[in-house]
Structure 1
Amino acid sequence: MSTASPAAAAVRISLRELLVLAAAAAVGCAAMQSADEMWLAVVGSGMLLAFMAMAVLAVVERGARQAFAIGFVLCATIYRVLLVGSGQEMDPYAGRLPTSRLLRTAYEAVRDEWYVDAATGRRFRRRDNPAAADAASKQDALQQQLSGWTPLGALKATAYYAGEKPVRAEFMALGHALITCLAGYLGGRFAVFVYAGRVRREALASTTATPL
């Protein structure tokens, strides 16, 4: 974005910016597919660094760059405040924000339930062997119902539930971190657009007020 031409900067996206956005989208998709602690640390650190850099630019820069930084910080902060204020947005089935509901759809698309075969110790996904997974789920439910008066060893499971992947809390935290960055970017672009309009109005007023 050029401070000399804020109006053009408000509507023009450079090739470099497009490449950065494409790379960020690719990294985001890869992160959401895995959504483990490593990806959460990488994306969370990137979000924090971007926020701090934009906070500094919002104070020391001028012109369109300052407008972008202010818009980024404001929108990213507002989104994080909404997340903290709700207190339920890290659960895909309890979150109320529209973004949480979108993340729930994405989570259900990539989620896998993992089981362990009791005889071989081999791990398998529900979609690879749904019959064995259903049998294990029914057996777990029956064991929970009878555990009050039946010895736990009386029921021999053929498979055991080993958890879900990605873990829903990590998936939601990662997704909201990415959405925070997106909200900041869109807020920055909108701020530059508003700034460009103000510059045009001031220039027009100055031209009109200048005597011929």
Structure 2
Amino acid sequence: MPPAGNPLRPGGSSPFESTDMRFVLADTQGYVIHPFYDYQAGQQLSLFERWRAAPLTFNGELVGYALATGEAPQTPLDDSYRTLLYQSLAVAGAIALLLSLLVAALLTRPMLRQLRQLSRAVNELEPGQPFTPVVVSGTDEIATLAKAFNRMSGELTDKYQALQASNETIARQAKSLERLSYTDELTGLHNRRYFNEQFAH
């Protein structure tokens, strides 16, 4: 066991002034059996320290804990590795961002084209004009919307054409009735009603 004052602490009063890193060993109850830095022999580790420590097992049974203390020595090579790692992460992040933007553009381009086709068809839809269905492939929401638009536009066009035909029929019948009301069915000559209206003018 080390003497009081813990001579295993190198240098000044702070454990973080050391360039060395060692482990404090404790038994299964958390009592220190190999002290280092501020940890004294017989001192019990707190619950948080035991949770942070690495458990030591032998034949599947817990035999103690190892708690890292101090700081690992940093060399210029470590600094260069860390700088290289940061640069690699930055480059990888930029590449991932560019790829995600490219994928988003590729995925949204067909959708925008279909939306433009649907919007153009809506703006060009006029009564009496021939209806051209919007050609949208796929089974997504835009394709479903385009199919519903084609169906409703087709039904409206058919009803408009039927209404126009009905109006033309009514106009012809009205003209025929007007002719019958002013002419004699047997001779085809104008009758008294026609004479009265012309005389009033």
| TM-score, length basis structure 2 | 0.30
Give the structure with the higher percent strand.
Answer: 2
TM-score scaled by length of structure 1: 0.28
Of the two structures, which has the highest relative contact order with CA contacts closer than 8 Å and spacing of 6 or more? 1
Give 1 or 2: higher helix fraction.
1
Q: Report which of the two structures shows the higher radius of gyration computed on alpha carbons.
A: 2
